[in-house]
Amino acid sequence: MSPEGTTARRREVRLGARARVGHGSSTNVAGVEAFVRSFLEAVEAAPGPELPEVEATLLRQAAEAIAAYPSIAFDGPVLGRHLASCVGQERPLATALAGLRVTELWLACACVQGDERAMALFEHDFLAPAAAALRRAGESAADLDDALQGLRERLYLSDCKLKDFSGRGSLGGWTRVSLARETGALRRSRGRDVPLDENDAGHELPDLAAIDPDLAVVRRRYGETFHVAFRDAFGRLDVELRNVLRLHFVDGLTLERMAPMLGMSRATAGRRVLEAKKSLLEGVVALIGDRLHATPSEVASLIAVVRSTLYGSIARLLRDG
């Protein structure tokens, strides 16, 4: 884009920022301009017919974030760079942006930056409701207090876990799952939690030779890539299905306890568990078959191997991977 074109685009963005956040807030106008500029630079957006739509989307999202949390000083460059990292290589940009919860991303960013007002808002709007959901699911007050303290440290201090929030799901759901997993980890550390797959936890996969010699041959051939395929297939599941598997198989939660944490009925939670297991199985098989050019008969045998070993080993594989 020519210097004249660049200047014109910046003028359009400035006018859009003023229209969105008002002429009386020069700080917010400058922050919104910096937000748009930082995002576009980070994603290396090229001039083109999509650019005005992307800029308009960014202006709208920035205005919504400021309106939702007016007490938090808007840091445009911080949010712009973080939003770009959440978008990654997804294109077109306008579509990618439309699928993200930028207002909640901004609150998470502000918490990571140490803004005390943001942390107070997060506690009130997200952490307290998550704790209430777990209390309704049967968690004790003592365990919840300890889990909340541990999670706060991980959210704001040691791990800065709030950086992991990608905006692709709701911050409320993400917080409930994070607190549920923190509670489960606390129970395990006290020796009070038995993994769902207690006969397999911490052990190798079953000796398939004792089950079926043909399956053992396939297992030996593909064993070296099994864990890589598992991690890749798990990573390709959507956020909800990954959370379902972690809660059910790693944290050992029953459907009754999972359902309120995920904001769904017990029956729906059960269907999600089945869907997650089926999708994971199909993903592992497809990846191994594609990468090792397995024959149709070998793939059929591989399905039997994965079905017989994967379901009983999900908890161990998730912990190790």
Of 61, 77, 100, the position where a domain reaches its end is: 100
Classify 284 as helix, strand or coil. helix
Going by C-alpha positions, the residue among 150, 167, 168 that lies closest to residue 159 is: 150
Residue 16 lies in a domain: yes
What is the pLDDT at residue 105? Answer: 95
Residues 48, 14 share a domain: yes
- For residue 285, what are the domain limits? 208-320
Average pLDDT value over all residues in the chain: 76
CATH number, domain with residue 277: 1.10.10.10
Residue 286 CA to residue 112 CA, distance in Å, equals 39
Residues 129, 81 share a domain: no
Residues 68, 116 share a domain: no
Residues 302, 218 share a domain: yes
- pLDDT, tens only, 85-108: 999 888 899 999 999 999 999 999
Residue 91 lies in a domain: yes
Written as one string, the DSSP assignment of 290-317 is HHHT--HHHHHHHHHHHHHHHTTTHHHH
Give the whole-number percent of the chain exceeding pLDDT 90.
25
Residue 139 lies in a domain: yes
What is the pLDDT at residue 245? Answer: 84
Residue 107 lies in a domain: no
Residues 183, 153 share a domain: yes
Going by C-alpha positions, the residue among 143, 102, 105, 146 that lies closest to residue 122 is: 105
Residue 202 lies in a domain: no
Written as one string, the DSSP assignment of 155-220 is IIISS-GGGG--SSS-HHHHHHHHHHHHHHHHHHHTT----TTTTTTTSPPP-GGGT-HHHHHHHH
Residues 78, 34 share a domain: yes
- pLDDT, tens only, 41-57: 999 887 788 888 999 89
Q: How far is CA 204 from CA 113, 220, 247, 253, in A?
A: 43, 13, 22, 23
The Cα angle at residue 312 between residues 306 and 315, in degrees rounded to 5: 110
CB 77 within 8 A of CB 30: no
Residues 135, 51 share a domain: no
Q: How far is CA 156 from CA 25, 108, 161, 279, in A?
A: 30, 10, 7, 34
CB 177 within 8 A of CB 235: no
Residue 198 lies in a domain: no
167, pLDDT greater than 80? yes
Residues 178, 77 share a domain: no
Element (H, E) at 81: helix 76-87
- CB-based contacts of 116, cutoff 8 Å, min separation 6: none
- pLDDT, tens only, 256-292: 778 887 888 877 887 888 788 878 878 877 887 787 7
- pLDDT, tens only, 127-157: 999 999 888 888 888 788 888 888 888 888 7
Going by C-alpha positions, the residue among 263, 259, 234 that lies closest to residue 248 is: 259
What is the pLDDT at residue 79? Answer: 94
Residues 148, 230 share a domain: no
Of 132, 157, 189, the position where a domain reaches its end is: 189
Residues 311, 245 share a domain: yes
pTM here is 0.60
Residues 268, 223 share a domain: yes
Residues 266, 178 share a domain: no
Residue 137 lies in a domain: yes
75, pLDDT greater than 50? yes
Please report, for the chain, how many H helices and E strands are present, in that order.
Answer: 16, 0
Structural domains counted in the chain: 3
Residue 59 lies in a domain: yes
